[in-house]
Structure 1
Amino acid sequence: MKYGWILTAAILLAACGQPKDVPQESDIVAVEDHEMAQPGSLSETPQASDYVAPDFAKLSGYGEGWYISPGWPGEYPAGFVVLDESISVMGRAKPNPASPQDKACTLPQLANYQLWNNPRVSSDELEFFVATKTFPVTLNQDAQIEYISDAGSMQTLDLKQGEQLNYLRYLGEGFAILSYAGTEYDINEAELMDITDIQSTKGQEDEWLRVTCSDGSKVWLLYDEVVTVPGIVPSPITGYGDASDITLDQVEGIRAEAEQNAALAESLGEAPIE
């Protein structure tokens, strides 16, 4: 779950005020009166209509206890930009932390590896998926929990004290996928805070991206590793659903902002803002 960066972002907004170019919640998704926006609907890799996603679970070999799904989580999914020339990173042939990180890959300067950057996703045949360590969520009282049905309407799940849900992955806008009795449900985490032990467990997410290197080879990169490489920083947020490669005149401004965010996050004891 993205508790760390959400908390840091909230503190930033409270201290500095909300930037003018950040859309208000009512501007994020246009929803007709008769339908409900699906949480995380812009968190999956945009592809052509005939695109078939790889079997990421089989490809990665994470095994039991992990939920593997396409796209990256979050209202504003993470990404990274390459600020400098001749940046080389070490990737993997197999997207699993246990696999050797022995594939050198040079990335093009100014590239923005973010799943909303459609031209880059298409030209480099990028693949995004997230591996989430699952964990049980136990009810501390009888409760009716609302969830979004496949048709987009709100339904309720009647549970008793002591029963368990299984946390599978975060989506966005506060919603996550949890399962009960083998069925998956999109549930707002806020509903679970006071009636379960969800706050006592911090989930683990591995965000993977397959990139095309400058020599045409393809490697898998783990987000938490690649953003520590000098000359690479988290993607700037320009708007909901909006991302593109950056320009040379943006480089130093993005670098300065990333350094400021990293320093603030360190002072707060949180993960860097994504």
Structure 2
Amino acid sequence: MADRWFEDFVVGERWTSAPRVVTDDDLADFTRVSGDDHPLHAGPGAILQGPFGVAVAMGLLQGLDIHGDAVLGLLDTHWAYRRPVRVGDELTLEVTIVRARRTSSGDRGVVTRAMSLVNQLRETVQEGTTAAMIAARSAGPDPVGRAFGTVGWAEALTDKADLADELASWDGAIGLRSGDDEVHVRIYRGRVVEVARRSPRGATFTLGADAATWLELVEAPDNPFMRLAMAGRFTVTGDGYEYLRLTSALHRLADAAREIA
């Protein structure tokens, strides 16, 4: 297996695994290994233990051959169980890279994978994200166009967006959050005066979403910001009135995010 270093992972990359059929032996073996012999997992119509899906997802991920010796360890798994898995189901894993951030040491980075385990009916049975620490080939620098929620990304999109007209009389700070990453853009009368992790008085309001939503925004054929916002995919904390006043400016920032991506 060839090494794939931190720099080789690009936010938005996607893979789909080969299918894997769930067997009676899978149910028996996982019951024995886990010790979970609840009646749900026995007899006609038995369903597999929930963690079985996580184990299958990790195995299918390994089978994609996208990770090598550069992987230093698994950091977390955030997982949801949507539908039962039964003997006879044919499971396929869909993987998307949604985050790639270099650590402060510079010699490694965190790569987050959004994963969906789907059955033969194209139903999502389990899904979530997992993050792994990956060794880096060099010290960078890294592209910022899809580094959502970082200072470099916000600097690039505010350089691209012309906000002078929309914000000519506005004074405040707009927070932009992607998952755990948040950046504040301080604006005075249409001019960006600072981009930083935190502004001295906090953000007037913060627009946030998970990394998958930001990725959908920058990859859609047309700017879907309003549609995603109306669907609740973007959330707002802080001064909601100011958020509504600046909807046009935020739409322009979304255009800029799509351009730099």
Normalising by structure 2, what TM-score? 0.22
Q: Greater Rg, structure 1 or structure 2?
A: 2
Quick one: higher RCO (CA 8 Å, sep 6+), 1 or 2?
1
Higher helix share: 2
